[in-house]
Amino acid sequence: MKRIFLLLVVIVAASAVTPVFAQSSGEFRSDVKGPPYPWTNLNFSNEPGTLRFAIVSDRAGWPRAGVLERAVDVLNRLQPEFVISIGDQADTPDDETSVPEFDREHNFLDGIVGKLTMPYFYVAGNHDIYNALAARQYHKRRGRPYYSFVYKNVLFLVLCTEDPPPDQISTRQIAYIQKTLRANPSVRWTFVFLHRPWFSPKEKNHTIWKKMESMLSDRPHTVFAGHWHHYEPYTKNGRKYIVLATTGGDIRRKAPQDTIFDEIVWVTLREKGKEPAITNLTLKGMLPWDFRTPISLDEKDNRQKRNPKERTPERKTKAAPKQGSPPRQSTSRK
The answer to whether residue 215 is domain-embedded is yes
Percent of the chain's residues with pLDDT above 70: 81
Q: Which of 239, 246, 215, 207 is nearest to 85 (CA)?
A: 246
Cα–Cα separations (whole angstroms), residue 324 to 63, 264, 297, 330: 7, 18, 37, 15
Asked, for residue 328, whether it belongs to a domain, the answer is: no
Tens of pLDDT, residue by residue over 122-136, are 999 999 999 999 999
Q: The domain containing residue 142 runs over which residues?
A: 51-285
Cβ neighbours of residue 223 closer than 8 Å, sequence gap 6 or more: 191, 192, 193, 194, 199, 239, 240, 241, 242
- 14 pLDDT above the threshold of 60: no
For residue 299, being part of any structural domain is answered with: no
Residue 228 lies in a domain: yes
- Does residue 190 belong to any structural domain of this protein? yes
Domain of residue 212, CATH code: 3.60.21.10
Query: Does residue 260 sit within a domain?
Result: yes
pLDDT digits (tens, 9 = 90+) for 171-200: 999 999 999 999 999 999 999 999 999 999
pTM: 0.84
Which phi-psi region, left, alpha or beta, contains residue 331 (left: φ > 0; alpha: ψ -120 to 50)?
Answer: beta
Position 326 in a domain = no
Cβ-based burial of 208 (10 A; exposed 0-12, middle 13-18, buried ≥19): buried
Give the per-residue pLDDT at 274.
Answer: 80
Residue 243 CB partners (closer than 8 Å, separation 6+): 197, 200, 225, 226, 227, 228, 230, 231, 232, 233, 234
pLDDT tens for each residue of 271-303: 876 899 999 999 999 999 999 999 989 877 666
Lowest-confidence segment of 42-51, 207-216, 259-268, 292-301 by average pLDDT: 292-301
Task: Look at the chain and report how many structural domains it folds into.
Answer: 1
In a domain, 102, yes or no: yes
